[in-house]
Amino acid sequence: MKMVSSTPVPELPKTDPRVKLIAAKIKKENHKADALIEILHTAQNAYGYLPMNVLKYISTELHLPPSRVFSTVSFYHFFSLKSKGEHTCLVCTGTACYVKGAQLILNEIEKQFKLKAGQVTPDNKLGVQVARCIGACGLAPAVVLDEEVFAKVSADDIVHKINAKIVAP
């Protein structure tokens, strides 16, 4: 992961409702540094990912060095520095799903939509990710499409469902 240090980070528009949401959370947590992860969760929920200027804002508000904020973000899988795409497809690769062929499903999705796990299509319509385990092991293999869990899926099935999502207006 590379930090783009040469490009200046644009100021955050303070009137943005998403910024207000983060500001409220910071206030609720009394600007305490130990609430950093909680605040990052709020920010990611609001934006879908963690833009650099948001991280800068959080570091100022919590009186933490930006390096400390960035190192925390990069440590945890849950946080993303890039947009995850308009629609997200999360393929569970936990043990039960692995035993039931999750890799084949992932391969097919990667092939059909010409991208790799962790990437977003050039038109930003679809992002594909893998999860370590979503805890739906009784229903393996499982795929989460825009927060909706699909159980016992086949590769064709899910490709079809994704197509329906990204073509729909």
Partner 1 sequence: MNRQDLQTIIYAEKAKDLNNKYKHKLCVCCGAGCISSGSEEVLKKLQEEVKTRGLESEVEVISTGCMGPCNQGPLIKFLPEYAIYQKVDCSNIARIVQSQLVDKKPIEDLLLFSDSRPKPFINAKEDPFFKKQHKIALRNCGHINPERIEDYLVHDGYKALDKVLFQLSPEEVIAEIKQSRMRGRGGAGYPTGLKWESVYKYVSDQKYVICNGDEGDPGAFMDRSILEGNPHRVLEGMAIAAFAIGANKGYAYIRGEYPLAIKRFEMAIKQAKKLGVLGTHILGTEFSFDVEVRIGAGAFVCGEETALIASIEGKRGTPKPRPPFPAESGLWGKPTLINNVETFAGITPIINNGGEWYSEIGTPKSAGTKVFALAGKINYSGLIEVPMGTSLREIVYDIGGGIQGGGEFKAAQTGGPSGGCIPAEHLDVKMDYDSLISLGSIMGSGGLIVMDKSSDMVDVARYFMEFCMDESCGKCVPCRVGTKMMHDLLQKICDNKGTSIDVARLEELAVYVKETSLCGLGASAPNPLLSTLRHFRQEYDSRIDLE
Q: Which residues bind partner 1 (CB under 8 A)?
A: 32-38, 40-41, 71-72, 75-79, 93-96, 98-100, 131-140, 142, 148-151
Cβ-based nearer residue to partner 1, 68 or 160: 68
- CB of residue 67 to partner 1, shortest distance in Å: 11
Q: Which CB sits closer to partner 1, 100 or 125?
A: 100
Query: Is the Cβ of residue 12 or residue 92 nearer to partner 1 in the bound state?
Result: 92
Tell me the angle at which helices 52-61 and 17-28 cross, rounded to the nearest 10 degrees.
30
Round to whole Å and give the CA distance between 11 and 15.
12
Compute the 3-state secondary structure of the chain and give helix, strand, coil in percent, each to the nearest 5.
45, 10, 40
Q: Looking at beta carbons only, is 2 or 77 nearer to partner 1? A: 77
Q: How far is the CB of 87 from partner 1 (least distance, A)?
A: 18
Distances (CA, A) of 69 to 45, 63, 109, 131, 155: 17, 10, 34, 23, 38
Helix (H) or strand (E) holding 57, with range, is: helix 52-61
Tell me how far, at minimum, the Cβ of 164 lies from partner 1, in Å: 18
